[in-house]
Amino acid sequence: MSDIAIVNATLILPDRLVPEAGIQVRAGRISAWGELKSMPAWNGETFEANGGFIAPGFVDMHVHGGDGADFMDGDEASFTKVIAAHRRHGTTGIVPTSTVATHEQTLRFLGQCQHFRRQGQILGAHLYGPFFNEDKVGCHPKSPARAPAQKEYARYLEFAGSILVATCAPELPGAMEFFRDAAARGIRLNAAHSNASWTEMENAFAIGLRHVDHFYCAMSSVPGLRERFGVPMQASMAEFVLGTEQMTTEVIADGWHLAPELLRFVVRMLGPDRTALVSDSNRALDMPVGEYIFGPNDGGVTIFSDGEAGWTADRSALASSVRGMDFMVRHMHLNVGFDLPTSIRMATLTPARILGLEHDLGSIDFGKRADLVLLNQNLNVQRVWHAGQIAG
């Protein structure tokens, strides 16, 4: 049912906690919230939270897979399985994220995204691969990484109504044309898997680039640009993001990609409203230790999951995450040291704002979609509601 009252909860707002509180939901939307003593009368279904925390549903704008499936498998069953897996971890706003793959595999991915967006199961697609610098592919397959060609990406942009975000390495030939064409279709622009300089980032910024994926991971650095340009030393993507107040970014807070001091540094430099949490999770989420395929089953790359992180097959480098958004929130709060409202905000309202969806998602407020998560005192997910209906 989409009409329900949740009582005896501590609400997590973007800036504070509200104990001894409740939420009322009508037709899948929040109709009232606040301290119980000030709530209007309710005669419908009631859920007892027993003092647990109620947070907005998490918004994950960079997620590849889970429960043995990857969005790039490109079939309905895989999409259904990944969505259900992340619902169990509190994610109600899901943005399926592609990998470097063939043209046909990318089209299948976009077709499924269109289908699931129309059903209201996802927020839209993140066209993440294949336009990466082959020297910065990370765990993605190197051979299909390529520069954007108008003849190819024009087919992708036929799905523009279902694409929220598109990523491209700004230094690639054709990148600026791709950015212009994507922006003209209303798609948000990201940079990643790139060896771009400040100047190349600035050129993309002039077109509409506003976000850099997984900060510090597979991105240019000053020493790396020294090898590319010689002297004088060039500023990198990191400096451009830190020095440009309109730029936003995201971090993978799984305890392996970035040390606590780096997580604290990024958030303190940019603030929690410019730093989102993402899972960047692969198909090994909630699966046993072992080898898995990153990307499509046909043509992806073999990786290894030790249950805490994904690694390249030779165990020499990280290969995506195997954690859900709930883990990222717990890590930021319990280990990195940010307060609970801030940690939750980076997993909810911040990504919703970056995606331009804050009017509908990301916080507990009147009229917003009733995407909610019940957390216990250890911040483990107990129940999930998507548009007021139980989802996990």
DSSP annotation string for 319-331: -SB---HHHHHHI
State pTM to two decimals.
0.96
- What span, in angstroms and rounded, lies between the C-alpha atoms of 327 and 287? 15
DSSP annotation string for 244-260: -TT-EEEEE-SSSSS-H
Tokens of 107: 């089209």
Please report the pLDDT score of residue 288 as a whole number: 98
- What span, in angstroms and rounded, lies between the C-alpha atoms of 149 and 299? 21
Q: What are phi and psi of 164, to 5 degrees?
A: -85, -40
- What span, in angstroms and rounded, lies between the C-alpha atoms of 286 and 322? 7
Q: Identify whether the C-beta of residue 153 lies closer than 8 Å to the C-beta of residue 180.
A: no
The stretches in the chain having pLDDT less than 50 are: none
Please report the pLDDT score of residue 1 as a whole number: 52
Q: Identify whether the C-beta of residue 239 lies closer than 8 Å to the C-beta of residue 217.
A: no
Tokens of 200: 């190349």
Distance of CA 84 to the CA centre of its chain: 16
Distance of CA 9 to the CA centre of its chain: 27
Task: List CB contacts of 310: < 8 A, sequence separation 6 or more.
Answer: 139, 282, 284, 292, 294, 303, 304, 318, 319, 320, 321, 322
pLDDT tens, position by position, 63-104: 999 999 999 999 999 999 999 999 999 999 999 999 999 999
The residue behind tokens 């909630």 is 286
